[in-house]
Structure 1
Amino acid sequence: MALTEEKIKEFVGVDSDLIEGPDKVCKQMIRHWCEVMEDANPLYQDEEYAKASKYGGIIAPPMQVQVYTMSPLWPTGNREPSSMELLVAELAEQGYTSIVATEQGQEYFAPMKPGDQINYTISVDKISPEKQTVRGPGYFVTFLYKFFNQREELVCKQTFTILAYNAISKE
């Protein structure tokens, strides 16, 4: 069963409440990231170099923004579901239970520095009409994350697109 235009409009453009990231930006997590990614940019770990830069000190790799906002797997938090979570539940209820990530993009605005608290909102940015794909009928859904620091400065905008599809449909 396809989603109606009215149902789709219930989800698009609705920002979640501000969700607080559980971890502050810190040198230890920056170090771990740099080790795993083999990123030797001196802005991320060389105090003297970073101090002489326009940032005046160490900054975190911008791609690391989501690291500081990932919810713990245990214990689970207690908050209202976002429009993304509500939409995914609605799609599953309609039979679109399989999900594959298809695209992600990030745009950066302000650096993250040790001690910064990164928080975010999420919304459903757009939903395609139902498409017939090789995986089955489904919807391409793009979510918009907006990451802010404790000064309410926009740090990053991230789009994340999924295909939610019905893998067992014969349509």
Structure 2
Amino acid sequence: MSSALEEEIGARTAALVPKWTGASLDAGPGDVECERGYILHWAEATENANLLYWDEGVAQDVTGGWIAPPSMLSVWMRPLMFNPNAREQVRPLEMHFRLKDAFELPEGIVTGNEIVFGVPVRPGDMIATKQTVTEIGDVRTNRLGTGRPWTIDVTYTNQRDEVVAVESYRMFCYVRNAS
């Protein structure tokens, strides 16, 4: 049995589902290229003693050369705090915010996150992202409110168009229940 709010949101947003499912946004490259100094400082700050980041011989034998830790993935997309050549930045998960606005669902939470890694990030790589809406679910009500779930995939590629990773975010966006 659905509530009046579920029916209202369903009717108001039904036509938007096919329009937004599959929609993509190319966020372009980050401001910095991967470099060895960033990798060393990250390993230092996290006290990561993995020899892949400290010993060139090990890195060469295991991965064919230096690589960045997978946990640094988002580092390459962070905008510089000051950049005289800055271009307009796309917010992380911009598609999520556009969906919230279009569907008039002001609240949102991340309900799940998964990363599948591809080729490693190496010094000299420039990483770019593309955000794609892969799924928009049916209207539902839970303890948070009434709204829709959706999934957005963020695909990270290097300058050779090789997939570095695909990060899937599952969200639930909603209108709060009246208390």
User: Residue by residue, what CA displacement relative to the aligned partner does 1:68-125 show, whole Å, maximum 9, x if unpaired?
Assistant: 113456678526785434212223xx2x212221111011110110110011100111
Aligned to 1:90: 102
Indicate the RMSD between aligned Cα atoms, in angstroms: 2.5
TM-score between the two structures when normalised by the length of structure 2: 0.80
Of 122, 138, 144, the match for 1:129? 138
Instruction: State yes or no: 1:104 paired with 2:104.
Output: no
> Could you tell me the percent identity over the aligned residues?
25
Q: TM-score, normalised by structure 1?
A: 0.83
2:141 and 2:53 map into 1 onto residues whose CA distance is: 45
- Letter matched to residue 43 of structure 1: L
Q: Secondary structure at the match of 2:178?
A: coil
Residue 88 of structure 2 is matched in structure 1 by 78
- Structure 1: any 5+ residue segments left out of the alignment? none
8 Å CA contact retained: 1:71, 1:77? no
- Distance in 2 separating the partners of 1:159 and 1:136: 23
2:67 to 59, 66, 72: 59
| Cα deviation digits, residues 27-85 of structure 1 (max 9, x gap) | 232233334444322112322221232x2211011232222113456678526785434
Structure 2's unaligned 5+ residue stretches are 1-7
Is this contact kept in 2: 1:99–1:164, CA < 8 A?
A: yes
Match of 1:166 among 153, 170, 175: 175
Question: How far, CA to CA, are the matches of 1:142 and 1:163 in structure 2?
Answer: 9
